[in-house]
Structure 1
């Protein structure tokens, strides 16, 4: 038994023993600074993380457990029994504001925090396939250089970083592969020596599992960059059920929600438009005749909110919603109270909800709407005698109840990117025609990511790619 295995409540298989030995070597090596631990769904990555945390601490290495999204941080914290937070929350801090000269708007600027961890600290980053090194910047917010992976390396300095993830999953948006799980990319672009460990043996599903069978076939195609047509096998498997129209799939989803609860079921789409359509269909069955958002609704946050410390992708359950809508800057707002599902369970939140995004085909405002909201904010500040150079401007910017209203959509159906990092007992999946306009490797990645969200059952809308 390896020393690391002694910190696990489970006996490792041969595959895990090899990975454990490589992890031990990395922790104790004075030179290596980056290790990539890859493994597909059900190979025991989280169990390995749990043992690794205890082993590293025993070797006097403080551990910081991070994840790419709020949902992923919640999942790994629950399973590993160790506190976790998002990479964004850990490495960035609000420092100042700056003016966008093109739009004459102020942006919140988040800089890297000072790293106070000892040099022996180890950073473990779960669901690393979602960490981008592609420059991104929103209308109101700027994070560091805009490149999350680059900023993480800047923050970590010479401390050890372990990236954990599934290389077959969807890469970050606008990228062809997950850069944090690519040894060559890190070597060439970040000048780091990179150790590797992998888990291959599936532990979660039985040999007669249709989920496992299809995942294996999809991974094989992805691994060799195979440009074959996407095919999924549903016949002969008890854990896969086919539906022949969207309404019957939605009805089956609602029946499972009613029997098992929202936490155990997820509906996954390719497009935001279909997610919106399904959300409205689900609501029509759960709340007949009720068009306005109401108590017990499930929402999914679509934009980080720093006033309430809520991350993009986190879920909110509504406890109370104002029956009166408030109209401002051409948008509709409602006061609400609710519960946020985060890494510590549930916590209360109350404020304003931007209602418009609940019913739109896209999860974001147009540039004109953003600009109108900002102009309304500036008019109200002017009435207080505050301009953009005033010392109180920044605090007003981050506390304004309308500018910082929760931006969310109904959370019954989500796109695959939003579901990434989570897992449910049952996944309901639609392979939309627009998916097949993407290249074939992307189709396989999408299918693999969507299917592997379901741990026990897979419910599919029939499609020409399914046999």
Structure 2
């Protein structure tokens, strides 16, 4: 089947990629992991084509709306958020109810979940309870990225348990315009300092957090003057506090890039034209935690946000708290997204968050350009520090005992 697919599509899969496709056909649960540029998307596409031709019903999903959209664009197949696939509904008591569960299971022969590292143990439990016995599940993700914001470390625990077939893609394929970014991401992941050889991966020196904040602003202004949209660039920060933290930098960039005027007054901290982010799932509005858009209308009673898929969403005054400025966001919030340009301040004031997996996650968000701003000591600390806060779950041990 794999050879036939290769002939039809004039594609030759690497041996690891072939192993992954074959494993998905032979086993009920398969984990596909690997860093950027290792061909995970090609494997998913081939799985969809081959299984689809066998008449199997396939569902694709990812933990966030942005990751689901990326998955759909990359594969050409429809993809949903895990919440949407499970038909999540908010209840009046604020709790979440899933219409798809053990009583009303998903009608699918194959379920493929991308960006599994972002899933916490609660959402994983809801997903697995809704999968029909005998179905195939393919978990895809990069175990070296940051763990989920919620409890657990599901992908790492499943891998550590060793009870399911796992294919780890290690061969890096040529990238059109992400070559330096991908190579540096893999270097960082092995504890090697990145190389700054061109415009697509650069370092701007700053001796203090305050100077770094000024440099970040200057870079953003220069990019806008070059014709880049504020929606195509993303400043990421390891922390919320300090001069280079999310909160202070958001205010700095808002004042400089979208200043208050007589015609554009600030209402509840927002202005027309501001880049904003939804910070909680809202199933009635069909917007989800991490969705980013731009305010296109605001008055004292309401505001309207246009999201990236040209969907306008109206917020009443009491719903403004569901939004926050998004000129800058935390690295955690950026997971599952891609941006043309990523700007990342790295300063010693953020020392407790200077970790390898955080730097690796930030760098792999960029499609065309990475600009690091700060001092090289902070960069060296981040690259060298592979100690992450251990999550004690016992999931790996329980899987090993029961399976």
> How do 1:275-290 residues align onto structure 2 when only pairs under 5 Å count?
275-290=246-261
User: Who is 1:338 aligned against?
Assistant: 305
Correspondence for 1:22 among 11, 20, 23: 20
Could you tell me which residue of structure 2 aligns to residue 132 of structure 1? 120
Residue in structure 1 matched with residue 223 of structure 2 by the alignment: 256
- Whether 1:111 and 2:98 are equivalent positions in the alignment is yes
Does structure 2 retain, via aligned residues, the 8 Å contact 1:34–1:162? yes
**Residues 1:123 and 2:108 aligned together:** no
Scaled by the length of structure 1, the TM-score of the pair is 0.70
Residue deviations 1:313-348, cap 9 Å, x none?
Answer: 0012222111x2xxxxxxxxx40123223xxx2212
Of 47, 56, 60 in structure 1, the residue corresponding to residue 51 of structure 2 is 56
CA RMSD in angstroms, aligned pairs only: 2.8
Report the secondary structure of 1:169's partner residue.
Answer: coil
Any conservation in 1 of the 2:258–2:273 contact (CA below 8 Å)?
no
1:68 maps to 63
Distance between the aligned counterparts of 2:368 and 2:91, measured in 1?
A: 47
| 1:5 to 1:408, Cα distance in 2 relative to 1, 3 A | farther
How far apart in 1 are the matches of 2:18 and 2:231? 32
The verdict on how the C-alpha distance between 1:116 and 1:149 changes in structure 2, with shifts beyond 3 A counting, is closer
Cα 1:51–1:321 change in 2 (3 A) is: same
Q: Return closer, same or farther for 1:348/1:207 CA change in 2, 3 Å cut-off.
A: closer
Contact 1:4/1:20 (8 A) holds in 2: no
* Structure 1 unaligned regions, length at least 5: 98-105, 134-146, 188-192, 222-230, 325-333, 354-401
- Equivalent position of 1:310 in the other structure: 287
Deviations 1:45-95 (A, max 9, x none): 223222321221111111111001111112111222222111122214338
> Could you tell me how far 1:215 is from its partner in structure 2?
1.6
1:37-48 map, 5 Å = 37-48=32-43
Partners in 2 of 1:162 and 1:72 — Cα distance?
A: 16
Q: Secondary structure at the match of 1:320?
A: strand
Which residue is 1:219 aligned to?
189
SS in 1 for 2:287: coil
Aligned to 2:400: none
- The number of residues matched between the two structures is 359
Residue aligned with 2:355, SS: helix
**2:138: which partner in 1?**
162
Aligned-pair distance for 1:444? 0.6
Q: TM-score, normalised by structure 2?
A: 0.80
Unpaired runs of at least 5, structure 2 = 207-211, 381-403
Report the Cα distance in structure 2 between the residues aligned to 1:295 and 1:197, rounded to whole angstroms.
Answer: 48
The SS at the match of 1:2 is: helix
- Counterpart-to-counterpart distance in 2, 1:314 and 1:416: 14
Secondary structure of the 1:272 match is coil
The answer on whether the counterparts of 1:305 and 1:311 sit within 8 Å (CA) in structure 2 is yes
Structure showing greater radius of gyration is 1
Written as runs of structure 1 = structure 2, the 5 A alignment for 1:355-374 is none
What is the Cα deviation at residue 207 of structure 1?
11
Aligned counterpart in structure 2 of residue 79 of structure 1, from 55, 71, 74? 74
**CA positional deviation for 1:296:** 2.5
What is the aligned partner in structure 2 of residue 352 from structure 1? 316
Matches within 5 A, 1:181-220: 181-184=156-159, 194-203=164-173, 205=175, 210-220=180-190
